[in-house]
Amino acid sequence: MNSRRYTAIASVLVAVLWLGFATPLLAQDTAAAPSFDVELTGDYGYHLPPNIAPEGTYPHTVDSLIDILHYFMVVLFVGWGIFFVYCLWKFRQREGHKADAKPIKAKASKYAEIVVAIFEAFLLIGLSIPAWASVRNEFPTEEENPLHLRVVAEQFQWNFHYPGPDGVFGKTSPAFLDLATNILGIDPADPNGKDDITATELHIPVNRKVIADISSKDVIHSFAIGVLRVKQDAIPGMRIPVWFEANRTGNYEISCAQLCGNNHYSMRALMIVEDQGVFDAWYAKAAEGPEEFDEDELDD
Amino acid sequence: MSHDEHHELSFIRKYVFSIDHKVIGIQYGITALCFLFFGFCLMMLMRWQLAYPGQELPVLGKLLGEEFFPGGVMTPDFYNSLGVMHGTIMIFLGVVPLLVGAFGNYVMPLQIGAPDMSFPKLNMASYWIYLCGGCVMLASFFVPGGAANSGWTAYPPLSVTATTGQTWWIIGMVFLITSSLLGSVNFIVTIVQLRAKGLTMFRLPFFVWSQLVTAFLLLLAFPPLEAAGVLQLADRVLGTSFFLPEGLVISGQQLVQGAVPSGGGNPILWQHLFWFLAHPEVYVLILPAMGIVGEIIANNTRKPLWGYRPIVYSSIFLGFMSFIVWAHHMFITGMGTSLSMFFATTTMIISIPSVVILTALVISLYKGSIRFNVPMLFALSFLPMFAIGGLTGLPLGLPASDIHLHDTYYVIGHFHYVVAPGTIFAIFAGVYYWFPKVTGRRMSEGLGKIHFWLSLIGMNGAFMPMFFVGIAGMLRRGYDPAAYAANENLLGMVKMSSWSVWMLGVAQLPFILNFFMSIVAGKKVSANPWEATTLEWSAPSPPPHGNFEAVPVVYRGPYEYSTDDRKDDFFPQHLQAEA
């Protein structure tokens, strides 16, 4: 009997040592963090990433939903846990204590369950569905002058296709595709395609709505902008639009959220949010066709 | 049934190709425990890469060979293979075979007072088919390119264009599904047909009910995946394109299937077929676990389960509902508002029966006389662990919050809380609880307590950090979390999780030791060491071929503890009331 007690005490001691000392030390140890080519804007840590969408748009509903849910979960779990621990202590087997098999009426639990169900219904109908409808159905109208672009995923990079100054995308087809010169397969004979921009960094102007059509050339990827709470699978054979707006300039990361092969982990792109003026300058320069310029430089 | 005992069987017929449900149950149990440990070892390897990305794996790195560990550092392909195989092995080769194949096979016929399963040969076939499936899965590590590496969900087109390992994975899955189908038919027929006299449906122990619902889930949910698996196999080897859309371009080359360019298929179709199985599968993982926990809680609180009927109705309802929630795994595929509304609503509804069952189990503690033996410790800790797993399902089931949390470590934390400290704790509880029935000996309480406490710490140390890094946006299935600058401040927590996993590995040593030592040297016990009421405890330990010495007759419900003024505080189901 005693030896059993000792093993229990020893186990609890290990628990205290592990949770109290070893793991906090490990949790602080971030020495292996690599250095990156760019500094990200904003504060990242054990909390939601920065949210650079304007107040009142769906990314903020997503955040409040996550916040409310976690408060709700903590309250439920703590309340429930108190009852649980109380039962374990109060009704432990001991001298002179007997189980009482008469069924009890548990009204409190019934009411608790009803309250939980009503609260879940509120979260669903009050927050989640409107936010989702905003993601899916409330696309910016043409009066709001959104920036249109296409996102074409491939193993293992993100390609951003802008229509250029004429505002019209050139025709694309796998037949024209060339990895070195024409990665999107833009039809060279189509005049609309002459000024199209192909980039591997996403440039967007600040405070302007963006509509991006997400697609993929090969396998399923998932287009995720953490700071804008955008996540949309890029599915070959489908072109799925998303919309978003950023109200803070800076450098942010775009990631691939769906396993897409061996280099999935590093399928990362930079999103640069810049003032409209800076963006326009980049747009005009990029539309002139940087590829030939690059090739000249390579030849030298 | 006395004729069963008369003919002597050869060693091979008795212990290898046996048709006795108890031997088959033990075969399932040992095989699945080995797979469970192997699947866990794969995870211990992955955790090295996550904690110390790009650093040489000490000792093992060199041993595992240049193909997958050039210079002792794991390749991304191998990391992905480990991920697929960890998931597949844990679910299809470890947990389900333990819950259904081992506990279901061994305990269920005893609890209903049957001499064996309805179709003993089918039962034997389902074990051997399962073993074949397991061998195919293991062998796939040695084919060119290594084991399957397209995620355990095997989403096309990635899986269709992946290396040979994927073909082996599908073939392995076809074996495992076939085995489950044979088993589930057998379970349903046995429970319906072979109950002892007097054992009405509402006198069945909750564990038997959970097996019945589970068997229906397996029977109805697995065939679509088997069909889908065959279609994917056809895409891979016959040049069809069920799941391949038009105009696929892989590394700059148009994909040609057979003689024509790919086209006409839809990759989302696979996801629907896959999750149509895989969501009911979650309840296959959790219902029998609840069944085990229910048995142990009733026994160790020395009072009847509170709300037996609501629990049973809830499990049936859970079973039905589990067929219409699958697409909540697919919100991010671009689902429209009305469809997502439907699946979010069914998802919120399905949380209610789970809450009812959990609440009933907790209320069962009230006014009990709780014994804290090892099975009970595991069963009790199942409750808060499953509660955490269930609660964290809420933000994932609501489409809006799922946008941010989808495919992050939050998801991993959520379902591991359900399956690891949830289901696997229930499995441990069951092993400690029924071990005396199987061997006639008890496992050591001291070693059991060490195992319990260390496992509890290890599990929480491993999975709790995942919620924090998940909310911070760290994505799952990433070979190197340091590839994103946004993860820079999270790497410490990742390391803590890894060390907890390795500690959890060490924590299993007392269990392994205890398990094997107790088979030969455990304390001998009577047929009913826990003073339990259900029928399995009326048979000798271990039960002979044919199970019972006399045909059992049942006179009362399953959990008659402390219900009247008898000398003992328990009233077994098979005893006739004294006049």
Nearest CB neighbour to B394, from listed A48, A73, A260: A73
* Predicted local confidence at residue A297, as pLDDT: 45
Q: Cα distance from A211 to chain B (closest Cα, Å)?
A: 14
Residue B60 lies in a domain: yes
What are the beta bridge partners of residue A269?
A: A254
Residues 6 or more apart whose Cβ sits within 8 Å of residue B414: B389, B392, B393, B396, B467
On the question of pLDDT at B188 being above 80, the answer is yes
Residue B252 lies in a domain: no
User: pTM for the full model?
Assistant: 0.94
Q: How many residues belong to chain A?
A: 300
- Which domain range does residue B136 map to? 9-244+264-538
Least confident of A11-15, A206-210, B288-292, B363-367: A11-15
Closest CA to B352 of A203, A58, A78, A121: A121
What would the mean pLDDT of B167-186 be, rounded to a whole number? Answer: 96
A230-234 vs A221-225, strand pairing mode: antiparallel
pLDDT band for A299, please (50, 70, 90 cuts). Answer: very low
Can you tell me the distance from the alpha carbon of A226 to that of A255, in angstroms, rounded to the nearest whole number? 8
Residue B579 lies in a domain: no
* Predicted local confidence at residue B488, as pLDDT: 87
Q: Is B431 helix (H, G, I), strand (E, B) or coil?
A: helix
CB contact A177 to B (< 8 Å): yes
Residues within 8 A of B (CB atoms), A 75-94 only: 76-77, 80-81, 83-84, 87-88, 91-93
Q: What percentage of residues in chain B have a pLDDT greater than 70?
A: 98
Residues 6 or more apart whose Cβ sits within 8 Å of residue A250: A40, A41, A42, A52, A272, A273
* Predicted local confidence at residue B109, as pLDDT: 96
Chain B nearest-CA residue for A35: B485
pLDDT band for A3, please (50, 70, 90 cuts). Answer: low
CA distances in angstroms from B355 to A113, B362, B389, listed in the order given: 8, 10, 12
Kindly determine whether residue A62 and residue B491, on different chains, have CB atoms separated by under 8 Å: no
Nearest CB neighbour to A99, from listed B158, B399, B561: B561
* Predicted local confidence at residue B15, as pLDDT: 82
* Predicted local confidence at residue B7, as pLDDT: 65
* Predicted local confidence at residue B450, as pLDDT: 92
Closest CA to A150 of A217, A54, A78, A71: A217
CB contact B404 to A (< 8 Å): yes
CB contact B249 to A (< 8 Å): yes
Residue B561 lies in a domain: no
Cβ–Cβ < 8 Å for B561, B298: yes
Can you tell me the distance from the alpha carbon of A266 to that of B282, in angstroms, rounded to the nearest whole number? 31
On the question of pLDDT at A27 being above 80, the answer is no
Can you tell me the distance from the alpha carbon of B181 to that of B215, in angstroms, rounded to the nearest whole number? 8
Cβ–Cβ < 8 Å for B459, B385: yes
Residue B114 lies in a domain: yes
On the question of pLDDT at B307 being above 80, the answer is yes
State chain B's mean pLDDT as an integer.
Answer: 93
Domain range list for chain A? 52-93+105-138, 142-289
Q: Is B189 helix (H, G, I), strand (E, B) or coil?
A: helix
* Predicted local confidence at residue B563, as pLDDT: 82
CB contact A171 to B (< 8 Å): no
Q: Cα distance from A75 to chain B (closest Cα, Å)?
A: 11
Per residue in A144-184, pLDDT (tens digit) is: 999 999 999 999 999 999 999 999 999 998 888 888 888 89
pLDDT band for A29, please (50, 70, 90 cuts). Answer: low
pLDDT band for A18, please (50, 70, 90 cuts). Answer: confident
On the question of pLDDT at A31 being above 60, the answer is no
A24: how many CB neighbours lie within 10 A of its CB? 12
* Predicted local confidence at residue A34, as pLDDT: 53
* Predicted local confidence at residue A290, as pLDDT: 54
* Predicted local confidence at residue A5, as pLDDT: 66
Per residue in B443-478, pLDDT (tens digit) is: 999 999 999 999 999 999 999 999 999 999 999 999
Cβ–Cβ < 8 Å for B265, B245: yes
Per residue in B43-70, pLDDT (tens digit) is: 999 999 999 988 899 888 888 888 899 9
On the question of pLDDT at A295 being above 50, the answer is no
On the question of pLDDT at A138 being above 60, the answer is yes
What would the mean pLDDT of B397-418 be, rounded to a whole number? Answer: 96
CB contact B465 to A (< 8 Å): yes
Residue B203 lies in a domain: yes
pLDDT band for A298, please (50, 70, 90 cuts). Answer: very low
Cβ–Cβ < 8 Å for B146, B84: no
Q: What is the amino acid identity at position B553? A: V
Closest CA to B196 of B110, B121, B87: B110
Can you tell me the distance from the alpha carbon of B157 to that of B266, in angstroms, rounded to the nearest whole number? 9
Kindly determine whether residue B472 and residue A262, on different chains, have CB atoms separated by under 8 Å: no
**H/E stretch holding B442:** strand B441-442
On the question of pLDDT at B272 being above 50, the answer is yes
Q: Cα distance from A64 to chain B (closest Cα, Å)?
A: 9
Per residue in A232-241, pLDDT (tens digit) is: 999 999 999 9
Per residue in A262-280, pLDDT (tens digit) is: 999 999 999 999 999 999 9
CB contact B493 to A (< 8 Å): yes
Q: Is B193 helix (H, G, I), strand (E, B) or coil?
A: helix
* The total number of structural domains that make up chain B: 1
Contacts of A69 in chain B (CB under 8 A): 394-395, 398, 401
What would the mean pLDDT of A39-45 be, rounded to a whole number? Answer: 89
Q: Is B250 helix (H, G, I), strand (E, B) or coil?
A: strand
Q: What is the amino acid identity at position B313? A: Y
pLDDT band for B281, please (50, 70, 90 cuts). Answer: very high
Q: How many residues belong to chain B?
A: 579
Q: Which CATH number fits the domain that encloses residue B122? A: 1.20.210.10
What would the mean pLDDT of A287-297 be, rounded to a whole number? Answer: 56
Positive or negative: CA dihedral B277, B282, B285, B287:
negative
Contacts of A14 in chain B (CB under 8 A): 453-454, 457
pLDDT band for A284, please (50, 70, 90 cuts). Answer: very high
Tokens of A207: 């405070």
Q: Within 13 Å, how many C-alpha atoms sit on residue B7's CB side?
A: 7
Fold of A142-289: Immunoglobulin-like (2.60.40)
DSSP character string of chain A: -HHHHHHHHHHHHHHHHIIIIIHHHHHH--TTPPP-SSPPSS--SSSPPP--SPTTSHHHHHHHHHHHHHHHHHHHHHHHHHHHHHHHHHTB--TT-----SPPP-HHHHHHHHHHHHHHHHIIIIIIHHHHHHHHT-PPPGGG-PEEEEEEEETTEEEEEE-TTTT-PPPB-GGG-BTTTBTT-B-TT-GGGTT-EEESSEEEETTS-EEEEEEESSS-EEEEEGGGTEEEEE-TT--EEEEE---S-EEEEEEE-S--STTGGG-EEEEEEE-HHHHHHHHHHHHT-HHHHHHHHHH-
Per residue in B200-258, pLDDT (tens digit) is: 999 999 999 999 999 999 999 999 999 999 999 999 999 888 999 988 888 878 887 76
Kindly determine whether residue B400 and residue A132, on different chains, have CB atoms separated by under 8 Å: yes
* Predicted local confidence at residue B261, as pLDDT: 65
Can you tell me the distance from the alpha carbon of B557 to that of B534, in angstroms, rounded to the nearest whole number? 9
Tokens of A202: 């996403």
Helices (H), B238-307: 267-301
Can you tell me the distance from the alpha carbon of B204 to that of B573, in angstroms, rounded to the nearest whole number? 10
Can you tell me the distance from the alpha carbon of B235 to that of B219, in angstroms, rounded to the nearest whole number? 25
Can you tell me the distance from the alpha carbon of B56 to that of B71, in angstroms, rounded to the nearest whole number? 7
* Predicted local confidence at residue B6, as pLDDT: 55
Residues within 8 A of B (CB atoms), A 262-281 only: 262-266, 268
Cα–chain-centroid distance for residue A163? 26
CA distances in angstroms from A85 to A16, A88, B362, B380, listed in the order given: 19, 5, 10, 10
Rg for chain A (alpha carbons), in Å?
28
Q: What percentage of residues in chain B have a pLDDT greater than 90?
A: 84
Q: Cα distance from B476 to chain A (closest Cα, Å)?
A: 8
Q: Cα distance from A270 to chain B (closest Cα, Å)?
A: 11
* Predicted local confidence at residue B1, as pLDDT: 44
Closest CA to A257 of B133, B324, B470: B470
Q: Cα distance from B424 to chain A (closest Cα, Å)?
A: 20
B441-442 vs B523-524, strand pairing mode: antiparallel
* Predicted local confidence at residue A7, as pLDDT: 63
What would the mean pLDDT of B115-121 be, rounded to a whole number? Answer: 95
Kindly determine whether residue B383 and residue A135, on different chains, have CB atoms separated by under 8 Å: no
pLDDT band for B82, please (50, 70, 90 cuts). Answer: very high
Compute the C-alpha angle A253/A198/A157, nearest 5°.
Answer: 45
CB contact B251 to A (< 8 Å): yes
